Chains A and B, each alone.
Chain A
Amino acid sequence: MSVEARTQLRTAPIVVPTVHSDLVRRQIRLSYWLLLPSLLVVALVALVPLLQTIAQSFTNARLASARPVQFIGLKNYADLLTDDAFRHAIWVTVLFTLLTVTFEFVLGMGIALVVNSNFRGRGPMRAAMLVPWAIPTVVSTQIWRWMYHDIYGVINDLLVDKLHFLPSNVAWIADPATAIPAVAAVDIWKTTPFVALLLLAGLQLIPGDIYEAANVDGANPVQAFLWLTLPLLRPAIVVALIFRTLDALRVFDAFYVMFGNRADTQPMAIYAQQNIVAFSDLGYGGAISVAIFLIIAVFVITYVTIFKVEQS
């Protein structure tokens, strides 16, 4: 059989014919029962609080305040549209997302491919893969912040004193030009394992024979990767991309520990937190949250359209 034919795995879900036979009706009912626990959880911990937040965004509610809450319609949203700080926050977040998702995907793919093959020391290598992910973000960001230190940091020491790549110490965190790449590097270090693990799981489902057949047919490794591996990995890739993008758009911990409330490096989630907690402004904070949700939704819809997730 040709390579192409063999890759046509019959993986389509069971198609329900339009005439609903008994079995099919049972299956549909079963589906709903199977989904019930998930839906309950969603309703309880996500939907209801979300609706509450949305409702609050139309008011001038404040945290722990005795002032009576008033409905103010779309005023919060109007303020949001003219808010320079929020616009800057969007820009910071999108830049961060682009940097991290790209690098994480490339690096994760590389690491997954490497770890998937057979070699001595594979077990420890896989364990090493999880180290960044295992350390709590607040702590690992502190460690990196320390490594970035402009005087005592290891990175400056290596690049300037030991390897002489740079003429003098760089204030990685302080300098606006290097600040966002610096925090992106931390996030990339931390979550590449997440992407690598997902891709690895997908890689391990691909039967090895396919590559043997490709070899016989004269394909080189690069061709095999592009035309065999990538298409077969598509579901895993899409999931990894979607979730990494979602997480990157909502980034909070890394920026908070690295920069605090510095004006020029505030992503959207920190701006929301500042308004809700520090300024006790539930109404405006709620509006910011809804805006974040809408922006993220735009990304998700874009992904779905590009990748046509629900094919066949």
Chain B
Amino acid sequence: MDLDLGVRRPYSRRGFLLGALSATTAGVLAACSQPSQPAATSAPAAQPPAAPTKPAAAASPAASPAAAASPAAAASPAASPVAKPAASPAAAASPSPAAAAGQFSASNPPPVQNPNKSFAGATVIYYGDGVGIGNDLDKATAQRFEQDTGVKINVIPRPQSATDTFAQYQRFFQGQSADLDVLMVDVIWPGAFAPNLVDLGPKLGDATKNHYPGIVANDTVGGKLVSMPFFSDFGTLYYRKDLLQKYNISAPPKTWDELEQQATTIMNGEKGSNPNFTGFVWQGNAYEGLTCDALEWLASSGGGKIVENGKCTINNPQAVAILTKMKGWIGTIAPRGVTTYQEEDARNAFQSGGAAFMRNWPYAYALGQKDDSPVKGKFDVAALPASSGQKPVGTIGGWALAVSKYSKNQDASIEFIRYLTSPEVQTYRAVVGSFVPTIPAVASDPNVQQAQPFLANLADVERVARPSSETGENYNQVSTAFFQAVNNIENGQDPGSVLPQAQNQIQRLLG
């Protein structure tokens, strides 16, 4: 068996090896020599061409006068006619910026009130919103802050997924890294991260009087104010007002039974023309979103708030009743697949015209009103239903700002947070980015109400918080036990047997 050694080789071994070696070396050298600079934010021209201007215009349908005015008025000192109480946030009465309509655009953030220049020269690393409208506003405000105080802010966009962000922070804290100064935290994280966060009470305690007490309480763990409210979110009911009209339904449902009836009526009517039409969609997948939806079911029916005063309370007759009712919706007024839906799945079903009702966060409003949306102008937002005799509720979502205990620039960081959570900046973000405010006065500002019309309808809805502060480090485990239980009920198991088990499981976690 001889090999024909004289065969012509299709490639030169030497050439291949040399080429490969040099490629690797070049690659590794290139990789090492790239200076590891977090995305610098000082360059005002650093706005990527197409992306931000489109959403900035879309996200605030009411801000068209603003967009028309002068988006290019970047460096013009904003003629801020706001006669605001200077350094005493204690005058929380009405810090409403009575700014003219032309003031609000993405590139024109408000100036810092009473800028504290004593930290000029420091650099603060800010782990802010993910890429998109949030990141754009972060960069604009960071630039303004540096302009006014001399403190440089490095804005780093967090991963889009909240879970990935959580894991990132965990790694930073585990390593006690100084690479993190200011961080955006989900409303359910203060309890988990409290030991690693600075107490903002001494410096920002007074400013918290401006904000909704419920949210501030959520950000306070063991008496420490570990984070400052940044923007909020809450569950709402979206409904097709054109369909309600078509079937002579005068008002959106006030009770869960009414919802069921209205959905059934509409479905029966629409199924002829659209066999896939469904009545009600929500976030039914086994994830944190389901905890939000299920908390609303429970709290609006007298079923408690999952954990109260250190005790898990989910196994009660009202909870069993409402969850049994919900189980009955699946396959009737809700598609079987709703047990796998997250926010986008529900939004897509509703926005494409395939659902009569949807439970979702306010973000879906702007998207539904875009010009290319099939349901533009045909829907509206109302409070979620409640069982008769109970008040409507909405689960609190949103994000807050915190300072890492291992930061080397804690005071400068706190000043940055003071600016970002100020009423002026919140108004700016509410109008330009449709971020839901955490300050009641901002929520009633006419400009904000124009940008977010649904806020007026929902001013009276009780905001309920998930038990994250109470359960602290164990929140994720508690929530997982809860949403897995609800998901099992959705998939057919009997609430009467699932709830006691889950309650025991959660109670064991609480100790």
Contact = CB atoms under 8 A, between A and B. Distances in A.
Interface of A: 9-10, 62-66, 149-152, 171, 173-176, 259-264, 274, 277-280
9 residue pairs, one from A and one from B, having the closest CB atoms: A150-B337, A64-B173, A262-B286, A171-B336, A263-B484, A171-B337, A278-B476, A260-B287, A66-B195
B24 interface: no
B337 A280 contact: no
A130 to B, nearest CB: 21
Given A151-B278, A151-B354, A174 B491 contact: yes
Contacts of A259: 286, 340
A262 B487 contact: yes
Interface in B338-366: 338-340, 342, 345, 348-349, 352, 354
Q: Interface of chain B, helix or strand or loop or mixed?
A: helix
B483 to A, nearest CB: 8
Interface stretch (B39-47, B162-170, B214-222, B293-301): B162-170
Contacts of B335: 150-151, 171
Contact of A174 (B287, B339, B349): B339
Contacts of B278: 151
Contacts of A151: 276, 278, 335, 337, 349, 354
A38 to B, nearest CB: 17
Contact of B336 (A63, A150, A152): A150
Contacts of A65: 195, 473
Tell me the dominant secondary structure on chain A's binding face.
loop
A149 B286 contact: no
A280 B480 CA distance: 13
Contact of B192 (A66, A262, A280): A280
A278 B477 contact: yes
B227 interface: no
B476 A279 contact: yes
Interface residues of B, number: 40
Nearest to A281: B477
Contacts, number: 86
Contact of B340 (A63, A173, A264): A173
Interface string B469-511: 0000110110010011001100100000000000000000000
B193 interface: yes
Nearest to B336: A171
27 contacts: A63-B170, A64-B169, A64-B171, A65-B195, A65-B473, A66-B195, A66-B196, A149-B337, A151-B278, A152-B348, A173-B340, A259-B286, A260-B342, A261-B286, A261-B287, A261-B484, A263-B484, A263-B488, A264-B488, A274-B480, A278-B163, A278-B166, A278-B476, A279-B476, A279-B477, A280-B192, A280-B473
A175 B336 contact: yes
B452 interface: no
Contacts of B337: 149-151, 171, 173-174
A214 to B, nearest CB: 18
Contacts of A176: 491
Contacts of B338: 174
A271 B212 CA distance: 37
A149 B483 CA distance: 22
B167 A277 contact: yes
A274 B337 CA distance: 24
Given A64-B170, A151-B335, A171-B336, 9 more contacts: A62-B473, A64-B171, A65-B195, A171-B339, A173-B337, A261-B483, A263-B286, A274-B480, A279-B476
A258 B349 CA distance: 18
Contacts of B487: 262-263
Nearest to B276: A151
Contacts of B196: 64, 66
B286 A278 contact: no
Contacts of B340: 171, 173-174, 259
A62 B195 CA distance: 13
B427 interface: no
Contact of A262 (B169, B174, B484): B484
Contacts of B480: 261, 274, 278-279
Given A151-B354, A261-B480, A174 B336 contact: yes
A53 to B, nearest CB: 14
A5 B487 CA distance: 63
Contacts of B163: 277-278
Nearest to A277: B167
A276 to B, nearest CB: 9
A247 B276 CA distance: 38
A63 B286 contact: no
A94 B224 CA distance: 47
B60 interface: no
Contacts of A175: 336
B159 to A, nearest CB: 12
B285 interface: yes
Given A63-B174, A151-B354, A260 B336 contact: no
Contacts of B476: 278-280
